Amino acid sequence: MIDHHLHRGLLLAALSGLLWPLAGVAEDNDSKWPTPVQALEKQGLTVHERFEAPAGLTGYAASVQGREVAVYVTEDGQHAIVGTLLDAEGNDLSAEPLAKLVGGPQDAALWQQLEESTWIADGDDDAERVLYTFTDPNCPYCHKFFEQTRPWVEAGEVQLRHIMVGILKKDSPQKAVALLAADDPAQALRAHQQGDEIELLDELPKKEEDELFANNQLMRSLGLSATPSTFYHTGENDRLSITQGAPGEEELVKMMGTPRP
């Protein structure tokens, strides 16, 4: 059974709560969707794929501002129901197609954005696990997170990739650019996190200044306002999760992927 039926005019309000806005994925929208689905598109719904559903329904994997949502169209093609489809045992029949057709591709697109940003590696290049974390040189919680992760990083199990931003203080951009422009950015970042002062540059090099600007824009586009903001893969269908701030011990172990070495 379908657990709720949202009126189309309330769709956006009902689905407005988000974890982070994500990058869009390619659509297969050739105007062949049923009329009710096209009406939902005009209200901001993005339809990604069609999928099979029981009881004469046809499912459509969609999203609103990055949030996954299932739409079910009745057999006559004239009515659409937005919500979660449950079977007689209460199993969620919407979760798997949404994860496969919407969430997974969105996560892959976001991960690629993070890979293509400018970051400083902390840890072994051959580490089995990689995390991307937005880091401001003046952020005390970034320093705490750096200290928290030492057991995994020093054991060669995890590599942190610090996407440097400059948002917290007036000299944050200068410090971030100085780290990015260092002869050995990884060593410069480690020294800074261990208490050394960053030697500011008399003139900011354009390349690193542009890279910092792009990182700041990426952070803003993802709806993030706090550092550290850290993305990592979970064990649940290899989906992406985000933690903002320095995590507690239980969450830290989840982020690192293994118990403390």
Mean pLDDT for the chain overall: 88
DSSP reduced 3-state for 56: coil
CA-closest candidate to residue 232, choices 129, 112, 135:
129
Say if residue 83 is in the same domain as residue 174. no
Domain edge (last residue) among 106, 138, 166: 106
pLDDT at 65: 81
Q: Is the pLDDT of residue 13 over 60?
A: no
Say if residue 28 is in the same domain as residue 157. no
Number of domains in the chain: 2
pLDDT at 237: 67
For β-strands 129-135 and 158-164, DSSP reports them as: parallel
Q: What is the pLDDT of residues 151-185, one digit of tens each?
A: 999 999 999 999 999 999 999 999 999 999 999 99
Residue 179: Cβ-neighbour burial (10 angstroms; 0-12, 13-18, 19+): buried
Residue range 226-231: average pLDDT?
97
Q: Is residue 153 part of a domain?
A: yes
Say if residue 147 is in the same domain as residue 242. yes
Q: What is the pLDDT of residues 123-159, one digit of tens each?
A: 999 999 999 999 999 999 999 999 999 999 999 999 9
Task: Name the pLDDT band for 216 (thresholds 50, 70, 90).
Answer: very high
pLDDT at 170: 96
Say if residue 75 is in the same domain as residue 204. no
Residue range 224-244: average pLDDT?
90
Say if residue 149 is in the same domain as residue 90. no
Task: Name the pLDDT band for 236 (thresholds 50, 70, 90).
Answer: low
Q: Is the pLDDT of residue 17 over 70?
A: no
Q: What is the pLDDT of residues 60-104, one digit of tens each?
A: 999 998 789 999 999 999 999 999 999 999 999 999 999 899 999
pLDDT at 21: 34
> Residue 201 is part of which domain span?
117-256
Answer yes or no: are the C-beta atoms of 47 and 68 closer than 8 Å. Answer: no
Residue range 97-117: average pLDDT?
94
Say if residue 209 is in the same domain as residue 97. no
Task: Name the pLDDT band for 239 (thresholds 50, 70, 90).
Answer: confident
Q: Is the pLDDT of residue 28 over 90?
A: no
pLDDT at 66: 78
Buried b (16+ CB within 10 A) or exposed e, 114-134: beebbbbebbeeebebbbbbb
Take residue 168 and report the two structure tokens written for it: 């917290």
Domain edge (last residue) among 106, 133, 157: 106
Answer yes or no: are the C-beta atoms of 98 and 70 closer than 8 Å. Answer: yes
DSSP string, 70-123: EEEE-TTSS-EEES-BB-TT--BSSHHHHIIIIIHHHHHHHHHHHHHS-EEEES
Q: Residue type at 108?
A: A
Say if residue 181 is in the same domain as residue 222. yes
Residue range 22-39: average pLDDT?
64
Q: Across the chain, where does the E strand assignment appear?
A: 46-52, 58-64, 67-73, 80-82, 119-122, 129-135, 158-164, 229-233, 240-244
CA distance 95 to 88: 16
Say if residue 102 is in the same domain as residue 131. no
pLDDT at 163: 98
Stated length of the chain:
261
Say if residue 74 is in the same domain as residue 145. no
CA-closest candidate to residue 64, choices 110, 24, 117, 95:
24
CA distance 69 to 98: 7
